[in-house]
Structure 1
Amino acid sequence: MTSATTAPPADKEGIDPHLRKLAVVVLLGAIMTVLDSTIVNVAVTALGRDFGTSLSTIQWVVTGYTLALSMAIPLTGWAVQRFGTRTMWLVSLGLFVGGSLLCGLAWSIPSLIAFRVLQGLGGGMLMPVGQMMLIREAGPGRMGRVMSIVSVPAMLAPVLGPLLGGVIVDNLSWRWMFFVNVPFCAIALFAALRMLPRDTDRRADARLDVLGMLLLSPGLAALVYGLSEAGNGTSLTGARFLTSVIAGGVLVAAFVTHALHRGQGALIDLRRLGTRAFTTATGGLFLYCGSMFGLMILIPLFAGIVRGESALDAGWLLAPMGVGAMITMSVSGRLVDRFGGRWFAVGGVLCVLAGALALTTLTPETGRGMIMGTMFVVGLGHGMIAPSLMSIAYQGLPREAVPAATTGANILIRVGSSFGTAAMAVVLQIAIRGEIPGASGNLSEAAAQHTEETPTLLTNAFTETFWWAAAILLLALLPIFAIPRKPKEVSLTK
């Protein structure tokens, strides 16, 4: 076995100009695709008004993008092997910017949904392709710092998406939510053409695992769709939830069996991902994402439903989280490279847990300063967790396993985020029914009762749900404590 990278000690190795340029290219392309996962959420009402259609139909503008993202991610590993990282980066970015332009020009809801799917197909591959480029260039000695860079778009999206969407909807046409992507992505395309090296490691003989694709991509889409339906609260959506989740679970389980049997030729070679570092780090990341995304859904809902604040004002409550994450993320990557990531991840989870416990004390009269301060603390923890767990996941993996590991980690993050959102929505509905007898669980209907006790009762339902988010964070500590210590020498071997 020969070493792909001869890396000096992590504490003496910096981010060289080439890696810095590569990071700029990845961030330019990835950040808008991740923002588009949340930016449209605040425009649902405006879209329904302009197109004169129902909320359930408009929701597919959001759902279509999410499902396309989920279906595209599994294809990333094979596509990179077959065509190369540079080629797939340019193709994915081209699909995304083309879809963005068409979305802004959409003339009907069906056309807008179709163009959002095109956007999602491109956006779904951009993040994992970018991660692969950075990981291969950085080598093991700079993995923590690279993961700090990679985590920036995922950290900013839930914070900046609703804010940017609110500003655009309040002051411009909703079409500018899509047009704004075009100049950013055009710069990213130009930078990629200038800075990315030509592909030299593509394999013309790489064959697509068609059966695996037919099992995993629809299975993930069914899981994500079913989880998105979990919180809608009607008998029809309940049936959709059960049907979709069961079907998705069966398809994903069938893929796992198929991939373990096929081995190297599978869409994702699961045999290579059986290391203790990968399974424990991604297991902790799955549970952590579930709790974190649940928190980020609950805070704007609490502000809008209980306190009657606008979408933009509610979005500002999340802004300090981004500030806190940027502070710790700027130093955690280097420290993770030097000392290993397990205890940084533990410390980060405990920090987020402290924030979640503080949220269980909310009252209708709680000041904005307290909520924003709590989210700042949550952000400090988040900035420690994401780089730590992502860098640990690649610990001890051979170089050729990077595509499979990146694809698998992105799938777990996507499903974990959907799981957290769905779980918090269901728990909140149950808590509302417990606090307000006869309530359907629909937040708007419950808030519309306008009794003197309604804000307090709704707040009680939210605080009960925050306890569940805290419980999921405690569960995340179990796999994190099981993470192996960082070995003295780690190499991504060929």
Structure 2
Amino acid sequence: MTETTEAKLSPQVKNALIALIVGGIAAILDSTMVTLAIHTLAVRLHSTAGTIQWVTTGFLLAMAVAIPITGWAERRWGGKRVWMAALVLFVLASVLCAVAWNGASLIGFRALQGFGAGLIFPLMQTLAVRAAGGQVGSRLMAAVSLPIALGPILGPVIGGVILNGLGWRWLFLVNVPVIAAGLLLAWRFLPADHPGSPAGRGRPDWIGLALLAPALTGILLGLSQLSEDGGIGHARVLAPLLAGVVLLAAFVVWASRPGEREPIVDVRLLRVRSLGSASAVLFTAGAAMYAGMFLLPLYYQQLRGDSVLDAGLLLIPQGVGALASRFVIGRLVDRFGARTLTIAGFLLAAVATVPFALAGPGTNLWWLGAVLLVRGLGTGAVLIPPMSVAYQDIRPAGIPHATMNTRIAQQVGASFGTAVVAVALQSLLDNDATGAFQGAFWWAVGIAVAAIVPAVALPARRPANRSPAAAPVHDDETAGSRVDAQEEAAH
């Protein structure tokens, strides 16, 4: 891909990106806003914090079930139709959440909402690549990943404003006008697509789905409870975690077998260097980003005593840094390559987390704000380079599978990073709150440093003459033969 091609996005691609961002931003913000309201929901719905915590957990688990079927759904009905159907499902579930009458009903409606979000997140990426005709570059990925990066930062601010001024039901009702605008823009600007070949529109890989969906559910459930129930040795943690790992291994064996039926997620594509290394980096990027996103609001609220709204406002510099990185990362990737930029991003995030590992309840807020700005620059830079090279050796028929591989890696990585720092914080809180937060932030620093290891395997630069993702592929070409061709291109 030439620098000129990378430097410009056509008006049609820009309009499609706007439609995707507007449609997807509600799902991304919702997943972070509701986390702030756990205590409020427990009080208003006369429930316990432990029960209401399933409002978040159920959302994440339903997302894990939905992600693997997005590729088959796109092939079966077409990406634009599935995108709009997912938005409708999400907004209907949002309205149901707003009228929930007790904890159990809210948990059920949130699970439905999570299923819609599980379709939306990977489709954002897939449809952006489709709209660009397979011409995948850092500028395209910077645009489509912007809501994903800013959601955890802006969500607490918006959520705090809504909780303080309007009440918890508006956390869900605010989605209605946003999704309505997203549907209108999608109908107008997303390019019309068509279902895939008859072979791709057949029945989904039910055995693969029966293995992968509960595997992801078990892993995420186990990680979400790691800081409670006695840690890793407790049956409520160990049982789902082990079951999830075993089922995931069984799925990999099943999906790697030769045969005519297309797997629900083609893990064979991970043998392609660009996608395999990018998926590994996105796992560690998810861990590094969400470890900080978990700790920072708690630091301001629990250790410093700030309100929910104040904590959200104090996190704005990090969002500004992440936004600023989007304006320059494309040019920097062109000049220095994905590997160098990713390593630099992780180093910057690690260095900017160290002051929080040394901070106490009285540390100067202006200093911490400046540090957060730098941390935002670092975390904002670690998603785009691996995403921009992930598709470089993947042909059009493999784009949905590549997206699901990267999305699953990022989702599990986020849960892993959150679980690690939550365990560290919980284990130290009994002794000294300041020391507990400092120790947990040191773990967050360690995660960011460890993330450099898989980043070394990223391709240094994209091919300068073409985008392999745009190479033609025949409908009757099997997934196995695609991988062989892609491996040759990667080497």
Same fold, TM exceeding 0.5? yes
Which residue of 2 is the match for residue 306 of structure 1? 303
Q: How does 1:45-194 map to 2 (within 5 A)?
A: 45-139=39-133, 141-194=135-188
Q: Which runs of 5+ in 2 are unaligned?
A: 474-491
Indicate if the aligned counterparts of 2:333 and 2:341 stay in contact, CA closer than 8 A: yes
Q: In the alignment, residue 114 of structure 1 is paired with which amino acid?
A: G
Q: Secondary structure at the match of 1:362?
A: coil
Q: In the alignment, residue 402 of structure 1 is paired with which amino acid?
A: I
Indicate if the aligned counterparts of 2:278 and 2:406 stay in contact, CA closer than 8 A: no
Provide, for residues 197-247 of structure 1, a one-character-per-residue CA deviation record: whole Å limited to 9, x for no partner. Answer: 322353343230001101111111111111111112547993211111111
Choose 148-157 or 334-343, whichever is displaced more. 334-343
Matching residue within 421, 440, 446 for 1:465: 440
Matched, 1:266 2:242: no
Which residue of 1 is the match for residue 236 of structure 2? 240
Provide, for residues 16-42 of structure 1, a one-character-per-residue CA deviation record: whole Å limited to 9, x for no partner. Answer: 110011001100111110111111112
Matched, 1:384 2:381: yes
Q: In the alignment, residue 178 of structure 2 is paired with which amino acid?
A: F
Distance verdict in 2 for CA 1:276–1:385, change over 3 Å: same
TM-fit CA distance, 1:305: 1.6
Provide, for residues 340-368 of structure 1, a one-character-per-residue CA deviation record: whole Å limited to 9, x for no partner. Answer: 31111111111111112222221221022
Q: Secondary structure at the match of 1:214?
A: helix
| Aligned counterparts of 2:181 and 2:133: Cα–Cα separation in 1 | 27
| Aligned counterparts of 2:233 and 2:63: Cα–Cα separation in 1 | 22
TM-fit CA distance, 1:114: 1.6
TM-fit CA distance, 1:79: 0.9
Which residue of 2 is the match for residue 485 of structure 1? 460
Provide, for residues 294-322 of structure 1, a one-character-per-residue CA deviation record: whole Å limited to 9, x for no partner. Answer: 11111111222211111222222321111
Runs of 4+ in structure 1 deviating by more than 3 angstroms, as ranges, are 7-13, 139-142, 233-238
- How many residues are treated as equivalent by the alignment? 466
Which residue of 2 is the match for residue 24 of structure 1? 18
Q: Which runs of 5+ in 1 are unaligned?
A: 1-6, 437-456
| Aligned counterparts of 1:60 and 1:181: Cα–Cα separation in 2 | 21
CA RMSD of aligned residues (A): 1.9
Indicate if the aligned counterparts of 1:73 and 1:125 stay in contact, CA closer than 8 A: yes
Distance verdict in 2 for CA 1:188–1:243, change over 3 Å: same
| Aligned counterparts of 1:125 and 1:17: Cα–Cα separation in 2 | 26
Distance verdict in 2 for CA 1:368–1:155, change over 3 Å: same
TM-fit CA distance, 1:88: 0.6
Distance verdict in 2 for CA 1:286–1:463, change over 3 Å: same
| Aligned counterparts of 1:323 and 1:365: Cα–Cα separation in 2 | 24
Indicate if the aligned counterparts of 2:340 and 2:460 stay in contact, CA closer than 8 A: no
Q: In the alignment, residue 24 of structure 1 is paired with which amino acid?
A: I
Indicate if the aligned counterparts of 2:283 and 2:410 stay in contact, CA closer than 8 A: yes
Distance verdict in 2 for CA 1:363–1:10, change over 3 Å: same
Indicate if the aligned counterparts of 2:131 and 2:191 stay in contact, CA closer than 8 A: no
Matched, 1:227 2:223: yes
Distance verdict in 2 for CA 1:160–1:300, change over 3 Å: same
Matching residue within 353, 363, 371 for 2:368: 371
| Aligned counterparts of 1:46 and 1:277: Cα–Cα separation in 2 | 45
Matched, 1:393 2:368: no
Matching residue within 401, 406, 409 for 1:409: 406
| Aligned counterparts of 1:321 and 1:269: Cα–Cα separation in 2 | 36
Which residue of 2 is the match for residue 426 of structure 1? 423
Indicate if the aligned counterparts of 2:229 and 2:237 stay in contact, CA closer than 8 A: no
Choose 192-201 or 476-485, whichever is displaced more. 192-201
Q: In the alignment, residue 434 of structure 2 is paired with which amino acid?
A: T
Matched, 1:37 2:34: no
Which residue of 1 is the match for residue 487 of structure 2? none
TM-fit CA distance, 1:338: 5.6
TM-fit CA distance, 1:339: 4.8
TM-fit CA distance, 1:10: 3.9
Q: Secondary structure at the match of 2:468?
A: coil
Q: How does 1:216-365 map to 2 (within 5 A)?
A: 216-234=212-230, 238-262=234-258, 265-337=262-334, 339-365=336-362
| Aligned counterparts of 1:390 and 1:150: Cα–Cα separation in 2 | 10
Choose 296-305 or 201-210, whichever is displaced more. 201-210
Distance verdict in 2 for CA 1:296–1:9, change over 3 Å: closer
TM-fit CA distance, 1:429: 2.2
Distance verdict in 2 for CA 1:353–1:140, change over 3 Å: farther
| Aligned counterparts of 2:360 and 2:102: Cα–Cα separation in 1 | 43
| Aligned counterparts of 1:141 and 1:23: Cα–Cα separation in 2 | 14
Q: In the alignment, residue 249 of structure 1 is paired with which amino acid?
A: V
| Aligned counterparts of 1:45 and 1:15: Cα–Cα separation in 2 | 44
Q: Secondary structure at the match of 1:231?
A: coil
* Percent sequence identity over aligned pairs: 39
